[in-house]
């Protein structure tokens, strides 16, 4: 508003209760390694890698140097009918980290763009195969696939599409895999629920095989509260997709780059999709960037279906941006040199034990942990869903710990450089809050 002098008013904040935040702002002003510093000078232990993305910790000198050098050398170059060396080098490095066969890389600027890109590639590939009637896209309840129209349509979080007309037509959803009655306080992969993958067969029977282009799932659903796949679930989805010619997409925006102990959840858990979406840890969040890894056969069928000229009418001004590509290459160097994927795997058991130490806490109804990620599910307050976890979020920050609250679930995903003493500190602070917050 003209004449307004509130310094917080102009920024319309994403996924934020803007009025509540601006009435009581909490701000971060610097970061290094495992810690942020707040505007009031306190050190905040990062229990969430920012937003699941600063996997190697904050302000890594190698990444800063790569960005700075590139900004002074080549600030921007288009990749429409032209190129520059860095995205080609990064694509080759990424392809070597992917499961066998997923060696064609398309660059985007975010996880949301990666998802929309993957969905469009799947539709294009089906059409190039002569399967033009396959236009239906299948997601899953409680899934988060970003905020593009494709992502909210296959996503399963109702609030993300309620105000926007419900999303695109021609989508449907599998049931989610959250089964607290049978799987509460499971260690690792839940034992019950593989049969939920058969919901895809139900949708095939409902809509017809010839109508379904692709199914997209998060191998581990993160933003909805850390839902770990039941034993055999992902394998069963893969088998059904193979049987019906459906393209299987893994949304690994959260799980890629070491979060569950490998370069991807697909490779760590032994299930190979046709397409993988990535972002977040790709550049250690230093510069926005996403990527889509595609099986070579899908790439080739699209490329070879066009006799000449542009084969896929899709892309972004900043696809393969020089600064982002430089940050990505430097981040991969850090991950490799410090063995951070292996470190996450090695710390997994210690992390899981620490998370499950909260089992005796008040209001704790479930705990889920795998790799270096955990979800602590709290009993909702009667008539006030999400209020208890929101209070935990604010109280933890005020007590020097950054966590995530999604619904009534506390989510944790620290940088992969976390030390055991810092894990103890995180769960020690949470144990205090569990006893204090009603």
d(CA 180, CA 156): 18
d(CA 63, CA 241): 39
Q: CB atoms < 10 A from the CB of 307, how many? A: 6
d(CA 351, CA 345): 10
- Angle made by CA atoms 75, 77, 81, in degrees to the nearest 5: 175
Cβ(393)–Cβ(412) below 8 Å: no
Average pLDDT for 197-202: 98
Average pLDDT for 42-54: 98
| pLDDT tens track for 179-194 | 999 999 999 999 999 9
Cβ(104)–Cβ(293) below 8 Å: yes
Residue 1 pLDDT level (bands cut at 50, 70, 90)? very low
Using alpha carbons, select from 371, 354, 438, 107 the residue that is nearest to residue 222.
371
Chain position carrying tokens 């009031």: 40
Average pLDDT for 118-140: 98
d(CA 223, CA 225): 5
Residue 5 pLDDT level (bands cut at 50, 70, 90)? confident
Chain position carrying tokens 């999303």: 167
| pLDDT tens track for 249-279 | 999 999 999 999 999 999 999 999 999 999 9
Q: CB atoms < 10 A from the CB of 375, how many? A: 26
- Please give the C-alpha separations between residue 18 and each of 10, 12, 397, in angstroms, as whole numbers: 11, 7, 18
Helix (H) or strand (E) holding 199: helix 199-207
Cβ(388)–Cβ(398) below 8 Å: no
Cβ(108)–Cβ(117) below 8 Å: yes
- Identify the structural domains of the chain with CATH numbers, from first to last: 64-178+211-229+245-338 (3.40.640.10)
In 24-132, which ranges are continuous DSSP H helix?
49-52, 61-73, 85-97, 111-128
């Amino acid at each position: 508003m003209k004449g307004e002098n509130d310094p917080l008013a102009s920024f319309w904040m994403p996924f934020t209760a803007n009025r509540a935040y601006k009435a009581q702002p909490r701000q971060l002003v610097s970061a290094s390694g495992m810690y942020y510093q707040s505007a009031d000078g306190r050190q905040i232990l990062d229990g969430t890698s920012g937003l699941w993305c600063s996997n190697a910790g904050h302000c890594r000198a190698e990444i800063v140097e790569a960005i700075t050098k590139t900004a002074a050398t080549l600030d921007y170059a288009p990749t429409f009918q032209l190129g520059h060396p860095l995205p080609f080098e990064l694509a080759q490095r990424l392809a070597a980290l992917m499961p066998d066969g997923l060696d064609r890389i398309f660059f985007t600027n975010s996880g949301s763009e990666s998802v929309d890109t993957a969905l469009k590639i799947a539709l294009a590939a089906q059409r190039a195969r002569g399967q033009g009637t396959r236009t239906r896209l299948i997601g899953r309840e409680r899934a988060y696939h970003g905020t593009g129209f494709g992502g909210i349509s296959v996503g399963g979080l109702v609030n993300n599409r309620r105000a926007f007309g419900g999303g695109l037509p021609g989508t449907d959803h599998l049931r989610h895999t959250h089964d607290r009655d049978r799987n509460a306080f499971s260690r690792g992969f839940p034992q019950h629920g593989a049969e939920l993958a058969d919901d895809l067969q139900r949708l095939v029977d409902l809509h017809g095989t010839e109508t379904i282009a692709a199914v997209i799932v998060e191998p581990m659903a993160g933003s909805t509260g850390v839902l770990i796949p039941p034993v055999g679930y992902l394998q069963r989805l893969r088998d059904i997709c193979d049987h019906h010619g459906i393209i299987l997409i893994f949304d690994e925006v959260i799980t890629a780059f070491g979060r569950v102990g490998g370069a991807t959840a697909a490779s760590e858990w032994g299930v190979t999709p046709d397409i993988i979406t990535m972002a977040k840890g790709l550049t250690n969040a230093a510069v926005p960037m996403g990527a889509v890894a595609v099986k070579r056969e899908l790439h080739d069928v699209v490329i070879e279906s066009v006799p000449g000229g542009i084969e896929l009418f899709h892309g972004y001004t900043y696809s393969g941006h020089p600064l982002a590509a430089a940050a990505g290459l430097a981040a991969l160097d850090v991950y490799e040199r410090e063995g951070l994927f292996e470190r996450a795997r090695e710390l997994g058991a210690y992390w899981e034990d620490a998370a499950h130490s909260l089992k005796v806490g008040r209001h704790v109804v479930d705990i889920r942990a795998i790799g270096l990620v955990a979800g602590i599910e709290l009993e909702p307050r009667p008539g006030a869903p999400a209020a208890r976890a929101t209070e935990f979020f604010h109280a933890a920050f005020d007590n020097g710990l950054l966590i995530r609250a999604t619904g009534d679930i506390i989510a944790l995903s620290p940088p992969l450089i976390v030390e055991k003493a810092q894990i103890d500190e995180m769960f020690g602070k949470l144990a205090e809050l569990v006893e204090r917050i009603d």
